[in-house]
Chain A
Amino acid sequence: MYPIATANPTTGGVTFISIPQTFTHLQLRIFSRSSSGSAGQSIPGSFNSDGGSNYAYHVLGGDGGSTFSSSAATQTNVYFGWSAGTTNTSNAFSNCIVDILDYANTNKYKTVKTLTGIDSNGSGLVGMWSSVWMSTAAITSILLNPNNFATGSTVQLYGIQSSPRTGA
């Protein structure tokens, strides 16, 4: 796993562009709080600026009292898990670990797997999201959370190799 890019947003979303196509997989590691919206809100995003209805998701989660699962197709966003929102405990942020396998392949649709959780001392969410982007295009850019990250959020992008890198 190799670091590609880092973002420490204080407002707005984050866009990673010109993503190198030389890795096998990508991983996003998101420490997230939104400056707007409700507690435990989902983190929308898109690939390659595609705002069409080309995404679908499933989610499995627990809220501390019950379990739940939901899904939807023909969505205009991919989802990267949950973010803390303005009504969560101050200073609380979510964790999201997102794996995007075979992102540079031009023959397959892209599947996204996210382990995510936010605890707010009395409320919380923990679970897994899966999303699919119905496109065979290689992922060259990723937009995250146009709903606004709050100060303190961090987003890290990593590339994962299937074999050791060589060279100088």
Chain B
Amino acid sequence: MALLPAIASPMHGALVPIASQTVTGSSVATIAFNSIPQGYQDLRAVCYVRSTYSGADFFATNPNSNGSAICSFTHLFGNGSSASSDRGSSASFEWRDYVDARQTSGIFSSISVDILNYANTSTYKTAIGRNASDWNGGGFSHLTVNLFRSTSAITSLSFFGYNGNIAVGSQISLYGVRTVNQ
């Protein structure tokens, strides 16, 4: 099927800021984005985050306040000496290890998440993420794909760590990715 391209207004970029939250004062258990606008093609979350936990911690995202284990993931990662892959089921999108309180202060993980077709109501939702966590002598590079087995549009995202709070200085920005005629 051949489709002619439709030219969008050249003056409006595709990446539209929706909201941004920075942790100030004291750490928080979650950073939540509610009532996400449904008028974009995709969502992108850009996370610069650190855990307060003094041990290994995983960063994750709960879509639509989902409390059931209807997410699953496939994961590829390297720890500086070897590469591995695993999979599992969860109630959340998993982005895995992020910088924790044992590491030098001022170091944060850089995690980017794309959720394509988040507003449609006929397909499950797939989210893909890149996680760069290096703490000068240790760390991980992660690629993770997650499946949310729900046809509901994604209307909220709650970011959290499995073991600790999200540390002061962490920042998460949410963007809409618009396509033509949006």
Specify which of A19, A29, A62 is in contact with B42 (CB 8 Å cutoff).
A29
Task: Find out whether the CB atom of B145 lies under 8 angstroms from the CB atom of A124.
Answer: yes
Q: Which residues of A contact B177 (CB under 8 A)?
A: 1, 29, 156
Judged by a CB distance under 8 angstroms, whether A152 is at the interface is yes
Task: Find out whether the CB atom of A62 lies under 8 angstroms from the CB atom of B84.
Answer: yes
Judged by a CB distance under 8 angstroms, whether B137 is at the interface is no
Q: Which residues of B contact A33 (CB under 8 A)?
A: 123
Q: Which residues of B contact A117 (CB under 8 A)?
A: 74, 126, 128, 143-145
Minimal Cβ-Cβ distance residue in B for A15: B2
A119–B84 CA distance with the chains assembled, in angstroms:
16
Q: Which residues of B contact A115 (CB under 8 A)?
A: 128, 130, 143
Interface mask (A54-80 → B, CB under 8 Å = 1, otherwise 0): 000000111111110000000000000
Specify which of B14, B87, B124 is in contact with A3 (CB 8 Å cutoff).
B14
Task: Find out whether the CB atom of B1 lies under 8 angstroms from the CB atom of A126.
Answer: no
Specify which of A6, A14, A127 is in contact with B76 (CB 8 Å cutoff).
A127
Minimal Cβ-Cβ distance residue in B for A9: B1
Stretch at the interface among B31-39, B103-111, B114-122: B114-122
Judged by a CB distance under 8 angstroms, whether A134 is at the interface is no
Judged by a CB distance under 8 angstroms, whether A21 is at the interface is no
Number of interface residues of A (CB under 8 A): 60
Task: Find out whether the CB atom of B75 lies under 8 angstroms from the CB atom of A62.
Answer: yes
Judged by a CB distance under 8 angstroms, whether A12 is at the interface is yes
Task: Find out whether the CB atom of A91 lies under 8 angstroms from the CB atom of B76.
Answer: no
Judged by a CB distance under 8 angstroms, whether A18 is at the interface is yes
A33–B120 CA distance with the chains assembled, in angstroms:
15
Residue in A9, A94, A120 whose Cβ sees the most chain B Cβ within 10 Å: A120
Minimal Cβ-Cβ distance residue in B for A90: B124
Task: Find out whether the CB atom of A91 lies under 8 angstroms from the CB atom of B124.
Answer: yes
Q: Taking A119-B73, A126-B75 as contacts, is the C-beta distance between A6 and B6 under 8 angstroms?
A: yes
The smallest C-beta distance from B85 to any residue of chain A, in angstroms, reads 3
Minimal Cβ-Cβ distance residue in A for B1: A12
Q: Taking A62-B85, A121-B89 as contacts, is the C-beta distance between A4 and B145 under 8 angstroms?
A: no
Minimal Cβ-Cβ distance residue in B for A124: B74
Q: Which residues of B contact A3 (CB under 8 A)?
A: 8, 14, 178-180, 182
Q: Taking A125-B74, A126-B144 as contacts, is the C-beta distance between A7 and B7 under 8 angstroms?
A: no
**For residues 90 through 131 of chain A, which have their beta carbon under 8 Å from a beta carbon of chain B?**
91-95, 97, 115-128
Task: Find out whether the CB atom of A95 lies under 8 angstroms from the CB atom of B114.
Answer: yes
The smallest C-beta distance from B56 to any residue of chain A, in angstroms, reads 20
Residue in A13, A15, A16, A158 whose Cβ sees the most chain B Cβ within 10 Å: A158
Please name 6 further chain A to chain B contacts, defined as beta carbons within 8 Å, in addition to the given A3-B14, A62-B76, A157-B5, sorted by A numbering: A12-B1, A31-B116, A63-B85, A92-B147, A117-B128, A119-B147
Q: What is the interface of chain B, defined by CB distance below 8 A to chain A?
A: 1-8, 10-15, 41-42, 72-77, 83-87, 89, 114, 116-117, 120, 122-124, 126-128, 130, 143-147, 149, 151, 177-182
Q: What is the interface of chain A, defined by CB distance below 8 A to chain B?
A: 1-7, 9-20, 29-31, 33, 60-67, 89, 91-95, 97, 115-128, 152, 154, 156-158, 165, 167-168
A-B pairs with the 4 shortest C-beta distances?
A: A117-B145, A62-B85, A124-B74, A64-B87
